Amino acid sequence: MGSVKDLQILKKPTETEPGVGRFIFSDRYSVFDWGEMPDHIPDKGKAIAILGAYFFEKLGKAEIKTHYRGLIDKNNTVTKLSELKETSNIMEIKLLRVIEPEYNNGKYDYSRYKKEKGNFLIPLEIIYRNYLPQGSSVFKRLKEGKITPQDLGLSEYPEPGQKLAETILDVSTKLEATDRYITWDEAKEIAGLSKKELRSIKELTRAIGSLITTEFEKIGFINEDGKIEVGFNEKRELIVVDVLGTLDECRFTYRGLPMSKEIARIYYRKTPWYEAVNEAKLKYGPEWKKHCAVTPEPLPEELKDAIADIYRYCTNTITGKEWFTLKKDIDRTLATIEKYCK
C-alpha cells in the first residue's frame, strides 16, 4: 500500500521477466512526504487512473515503451480507454523489481545497482520545469545555497512565477524516506547508469513534458512542472512507469490559479503542521515523521469539494468524455480555490 495507491501483485517479477500487477488508485492524497492525509478527495482515484491511461496510450502511439497494459473494467478485463464503458480506478501494469537501497550509518547504499542488468525500477524521479512557480523547491534550495542560478542554466536569480526560456531538468531520489535532490552525476552513479542511458532519460523527459504541455494547452492550462519515473525492462530498455500527466504528477495553473495537488500544498503551508514537518525533517532526517509533534487538520469542506471538481474537470476535458459530473460549475470552483490560494 502506498500513500495514494495500492499495488496488487498478480505475478512477481524476476531478474529476467517482468511480473504483472495492478495499481488501485485511491481517493487518498499526500503532501510534503507525510503519507495519507486526513481527507479523501472524492473521485480522485478514478480521475487519476483514466487520465494516466490517456497519456500512457498517447506514449504507446508515439512508440515510447511503458509498463501500461490497460484499465480494468467491471468484468475484470484489461481494457483500453477507448473501449471502457464506465469509470475505473484500477490499472494493470507490467511489474518491475523495486530494489530498496540499504540504510546504514546515516547513508543509503546503492551499490547493488551497479550489478543489476534489467527489469528494475530506476531509483530516481526526473522533473521537468517550464516555470518556477511560488512554492517551487528551487527557491528553497537557492536560499539555502544548495544550488546556484547557474546550476539551473540561469544567468541571474529567478523570480517566483518566472517562465523559463528553456525547459530545465532536475532529479531526486525515489526510494529514500524523504525525496532528496541530487546532481546528475550522483544520479548516474547511484543508479548505475551509462552516459548514454542518462542522456536518453533526459531526452525522454523533455519529450513527455512537451506532450503534456501540448495536451493541456488545448484546454487553457499552463504546465509549470512535472515528473516522470522510469525503469529498465528485461532487455535494459528504458520504459516509463508509475503514472504521468495527472494533477498529482504535474503542477498546472488556469486563469492564474493552481490546478493540481498544489492547491492543498498552498493551504497547508499556512498551518502550524507545515512548520512542524520542516523542523522534524531538519532535526531527525529519515525518521522525522515519528518525531513530528503536530498532525495535519482536515481541509475545509468547500475546498475539498473544489479540489475534487478540478480532478473531475481535467479528466473530462482532456479525454473529451464526461466521465464525471461536477458538483459545481468551473467558475464557482475557481472562486473557491482563489479564496484559499490567493
Over residues 297-324, mean pLDDT = 97
* One-character DSSP codes across 137-173: HHHHHHHTTSS-GGGGT-SSPPPTTEEEEEEEEEEEE
Q: Between 152 and 45, where is the model more confident?
A: 45
Residue 248 has what pLDDT? 93
| Residue 105 reports pLDDT greater than 90 | no
Asked if 319 and 81 touch (Cβ cutoff 8 Å), the reply is yes
> Which three cell numbers, joined as nine digits, stand for 18?
517482468
Distance of CA 240 to the CA centre of its chain: 12
Give the start-end residues of each E strand in the chain.
5-11, 19-25, 68-72, 78-79, 90-95, 102-104, 107-109, 120-121, 124-132, 162-173, 222-232, 238-241, 250-254, 257-258
Strands 5-11 and 68-72: unpaired
Burial of 2 (0-12, 13-18, 19+ CB in 10 A): middle
CA–CA separation, 206 and 179 (whole Å): 21
Which is more confidently placed, 260 or 92? 92
Contact 270, 299 (CB under 8 A): no
Q: What is the pTM of this model?
A: 0.93
State yes or no: pLDDT of 269 exceeds 90: yes
113: which residues sit within 8 A by CB, 6+ positions away?
Answer: 99, 120, 123, 190, 191, 192
Residue 204 is placed in which grid cell?
A: 525522454
Segment 254-274 shows an average pLDDT of 94
Cα–Cα distance list, 123 to 109, 306, 326 (Å)? 12, 34, 37
Helix (H) or strand (E) holding 203: helix 195-217
Count other C-beta atoms under 10 Å from residue 106's C-beta: 7
Q: Are 244 and 209 in contact (CB under 8 A)?
A: no
C-alpha cell at position 268? 497547508
Binned at pLDDT 50, 70 and 90, residue 43 comes out as very high
pLDDT mean over 39-60: 97
- The whole-number pLDDT of residue 1 equals 58
- The model's confidence at residue 179, banded by pLDDT at 50, 70 and 90, is confident
Q: Where is mean pLDDT largest: 101-115, 154-168, 184-198?
A: 184-198
Q: Within a 10 A sphere around the Cβ of 270, how many other Cβ atoms?
A: 10
Class of domain 5-341: alpha beta
Domain residue spans of the chain: 5-341
Percent of the chain exceeding pLDDT 90 equals 91
Q: Which three cell numbers stand for residue 102?
A: 540499504
